[in-house]
Amino acid sequence: MKNDLRIILFIILTLLIVYSAFGLYDELSPDSREALIDRSYQARSPLLVPYDTIILSRGKSTELNIALFNQAYLNGNFHLGLSCVDQYTPSKQGGFTLSHFPSHAHVPLGKAEVVSLTLAVPISARASTYFCRIELGHPEIGIPIIASKQFSLIILP
């Protein structure tokens, strides 16, 4: 009986040690601030948007985290824009907005910053699939688009 108790305590102690060594490791979500900063420094890409498809209902909004990396501009004042067109009627604009649109961000030379934007879908939006594009520009020095990222926005009824 005493040996059984020792074995059980040994197993519990071993499990606690293994959990404390490996179990506390958390996988970062792809749009977490830490993951975006790491990926931005590795890729050295001016615009890093970790979304390919976003699904929302009419009248809802979601927070988008994107990373900006300033590799070449002493004046790091950037402009972010969003445009969306209906997949089935390309001439129809989506009418979706980013908070503080048009959004401006300042990123010091050689640094990466994460910008949180709120994508809002109006109640009047048509349930459809939209092709959207986030654009990064530097209008102060005459570069309308430095980088862009396309993604699909699916609006549910």
The residue among 117 and 102 whose pLDDT is bigger is: 117
The residue among 28 and 105 whose pLDDT is bigger is: 105
Per-residue pLDDT band at 147 (split at 50, 70, 90) = very high
**pLDDT of 52 above 90:** yes
**pLDDT of 27 above 70:** no
**pLDDT of 19 above 80:** no
Q: Which residues contact 35 (CB under 8 A, 6 or more apart)?
A: 28, 29, 50
Q: What is the CATH number of domain 33-156?
A: 2.60.40.10
Strand order in the sheet with 143-156: 53-57, 143-156, 129-138, 77-86, 103-106
Whole-model pTM over 0.75: no
Q: Bridge partners of 86?
A: 130
Q: Output the DSSP codes for 28-48.
A: PPTTSHHHHHHHHHHHT-SEE
Q: What is the C-alpha to C-alpha distance for residues 136 and 80, in angstroms, rounded to an integer?
A: 5
Closest-CA residue to 69 (of 139, 147, 143, 140): 147
CA atoms within 13 A on the CB side of 112: 20
Per-residue pLDDT band at 29 (split at 50, 70, 90) = confident
pLDDT the model gives residue 91: 74
Rg, the chain, Cα only: 23
**For the chain, domain boundaries:** 33-156
Q: Which residue has tokens 């005493």? A: 2
**pLDDT of 25 above 70:** no
